[in-house]
Amino acid sequence: MDKRIRDFFIATGREIKDGETTDIYFIRTVEILKKMGKLDTEVAMEITSGKLPFGWTWGILSGTLEAIRLLEGMDADLYLMDEGTLFKPVDELGRRMPIGYLIGKYGEFAIYETPLLGLLCQSSGISTYAAHLRYMAWDKTLLSFGARRMHPAITPMIDYAAYIGGFDGVSSVLSAKKLGLEPQGTMPHALIIIIGDQVEAWKAFDKYIDKKVKRIALIDTFYDEKIEALMAADALGDNLFGVRIDTPKSRRGNIGDIIREIRWELDLRGYKHVKILVSGGVNHENIMEMIEAGADGFGIGTSVSNAPTLDLALDIVEKEGSPIAKRGKIAGRKQVYRCPKCYRYLIKPYSEKKVKCDKCGAEMEALIKKVVEKGEIAIEIPSIEDTRNYVLQQLEKIRELGWGG
């Protein structure tokens, strides 16, 4: 019996660039078209989104930088909206909106459809979920705790998408390093259980951990959350930044009432400075209940790291310069325009260069840009902070407009 552990089940960057993660039917398609002399057929392929998860009306596009990396060096042109762009699946007239195009000889990029969509679909799903949480928890702390819920190889991608989607920080050491951040977190139950006494554990954390790290006490290990919150406040005093509730579902009861009790008892005893953070089971359906109860921040894992992927598709809309599309798709290249004032979206033929908003009269902005030209990167790559700020600016705009989900 072979007892050797083989390598991790992950693709290397080289294998992805070589097209080895593609679906077999694209390789067979290339084989057929090559034998028929049609491999160099010029096409324009349009990237579009289907319905968004949970009935949401807007999403956040991400993964475009990895898509650019994938197509770099290929004899093809790639057009995409900017990383972090807030988009809608359809325009104001109900027409499906593109978020980008791939243009060139079909044989040049046929085998890259699978990885291209994969890079965009999962990252955009996470950034979209993160942005909806940020929209709801506008002034609250949001930390990505999802590293333990997904394959470790994609932890940096998950945390990147959550961060640019509006989260404030991440717990994974490697993710934080790649994002240029300090990793954030509190303490595990293991620390308290091994030491054997929660007060001793909180004091040990305060004694041994760098003072720049916020003192946040985990308060649900042995006793009632309210009692442990007061114990932590008495033990650490002004050093205590906050308390974290991570109570198992079987012991939670009404989480809103638990938060209200903790807040009341802390305030009553002069600990108004102590923040209340919640982790475990936080999602887009229950976060408002906890915010209304008085929660100041959240450590969110599964719901973000396991966010539904966006259903993006890649379809031919032009062949040899002529409009053509399968049933259910609109033929021809298009541009997406967005009004900077009222965020009205319209699609127009790509040749139409100036469009006025039919609602407020403002000149609309074209969102789709050439990012790769004949294999060469054609844009300045934005910084991670610039991308996150772009997302937050758009979220602020739709909050002003009262969009909701």
Q: What is the pLDDT along the chain (405 residues), one digit of tens a residue?
A: 666 777 888 899 999 999 999 999 999 999 999 999 999 999 999 999 989 999 999 999 999 999 999 999 999 999 999 999 999 999 999 999 999 999 999 999 999 999 999 999 999 999 999 999 999 999 999 999 988 889 999 999 999 999 999 999 999 999 999 999 999 988 899 999 999 999 999 999 999 999 999 999 999 999 999 999 999 999 999 999 999 998 777 677 789 999 999 999 999 999 999 999 999 999 999 999 999 999 999 999 999 999 999 999 999 999 999 999 999 899 999 999 999 999 999 999 988 888 999 889 899 999 999 999 999 999 999 999 999 999 999 999 999 999 987
**Out of 3.30.160.340, 3.20.140.10, 2.60.40.10, 3.40.710.10, which CATH number does the structure's domain 13-125+309-401 have?**
3.20.140.10
Instruction: Please report the pLDDT score of residue 250 as a whole number.
Output: 65
Strands 368-373 and 322-323 turn out to be: unpaired
Instruction: Please report the pLDDT score of residue 359 as a whole number.
Output: 86
pTM: 0.95
Domain ranges across the chain: 13-125+309-401, 140-305
For 250-306, the DSSP string reads HHHS-HHHHHHHHHHHHHHTT-TT-EEEEESS--TTTHHHHHHHT--EEEE-HHHHT
CATH 3.20.20.70 assigned to 140-305: yes
Instruction: Please report the pLDDT score of residue 103 as a whole number.
Output: 97
**Site of tokens 């990793």:** 183
CA distance 3 to 75: 45
Contacting residues for 203 by C-beta, under 8 A, at least 6 apart: 235, 236
Instruction: Please report the pLDDT score of residue 404 as a whole number.
Output: 80
Instruction: Please report the pLDDT score of residue 210 as a whole number.
Output: 94
Alpha helix (H) residue ranges in 150-188:
155-164, 173-179
Tell me, what amino acid is at 243?
A: V
For 25-66, the DSSP string reads HHHHHHHHHHHTT-TT-EEEEEEEE-PPGGG-S-EE---HHH
